[in-house]
Amino acid sequence: MLLIRPIQGSDYPALLNIARESGAGFTSLPLDEQKLTQKITHSEHSFAADISQPGDEGYLFVLEDTDTGEILGTTGIEAAVGLSNPLYHFHKSTVVHQCKELGVFNPVEVLTVGNDYTGVTEICTLFLREPYRVGLNGRFLSKVRFMFMAEQPKRFAKLVIAEMRGAADEQGQPPFWNWLQSNFFNMDFSAADLLIGVGNKGFIADLMPRYPIYVNLLPESARRVIGQVHENTVPALKLLENEGFNHRGYVDLFDAGPTVEAQLKQIKSVRQSHRAKVVITADADARRGQNQLAVCNCESQAFRATVSDDCRFDSESHSLWMSPAMADALNVNDGDAVRYLNLDKGAK
């Protein structure tokens, strides 16, 4: 059985392995022992905290195969970004150079550094290990965050963003960074990426250009990747676009990957996930459904979620019928509330 739960201290070796596999550019999981340990501890405290409004909490989940105990992937949520460390983005916009006397009207694109997303919620750290990128695993790992947010709305902001990994060349170097490095930074991409990953962002304010950058003055290799995602990130972007996320011109400072956003209440999986009462039955025919359902309990620190077609929503009793094994995995009893979401493609 696949189970998503909050990360715990014993998951450190698995998280370190995921950090290695994710490679350069996956800023939210730096290959740094102290930072990874801090992320686990911070997540444990966040899940345990009694929250009335979003703050500096960070929630990290793992996807576990309960049959083998192996950790297959991870995903996370930052409750309110930019409060303790500034969150920087470029915003691509248009300015017009016009001279009526000469009959010149020239719109040009510019990149401007800003902190417009301060205080919003960020979904992040979505990584599914290569052998397990099959079936509904990625969909489940992505959507479980929205189920948790739907169940715990006080913990999160009204606006939700996701920073998508930007395009890279065959050597793993972002073409946009190559231009930025040659003009403003005297360090390679992996060094800058690690500094950001461990929370040391002061060099950005010190070295980043302070004035708008005219896009048409950039080399063609840098221009063409602005707003483009890494090839491995395309499936994740499609999932978010299907949820209602859209790109409003904000891109990452270093690789120019797009940041997408959506209002929490308008996210598809938030709107389409619902609560139901648990009915536990050993009768396989009674609980057999026609859809793959993601189901989670309504807890925070003891949060659990799984996915199965061996459960069925009964509209007459407004209840979800499930097996004893599934109920045990979710730590729920008869009459408890759970939240469910249809994971099948095209589900409404």
Instruction: Give the three-class secondary structure for 119.
Output: coil
Within 13 Å of residue 38, how many CA atoms lie on the same side as its CB?
A: 12
Mean local confidence (pLDDT), 289-309: 95
Span 134-176, pLDDT tens digits: 989 999 999 999 999 999 999 999 999 999 989 988 877 888 8
pTM: 0.89
Cα 329–chain centre separation: 24
Cα 282–chain centre separation: 36
Under a CB-based contact definition with an 8 Å cutoff, are residues 198 and 190 in contact?
no
pLDDT at 198 over 60: no
Mean local confidence (pLDDT), 77-82: 96
Under a CB-based contact definition with an 8 Å cutoff, are residues 15 and 63 in contact?
no
Mean local confidence (pLDDT), 187-202: 62
What's residue 105's pLDDT?
92
Q: Does 230 participate in catalysis according to the annotation?
A: yes
Name the catalytic one among 91, 230, 247, 318: 230
CB within 8 Å of 98: residues ≥ 6 apart: 104, 105, 106
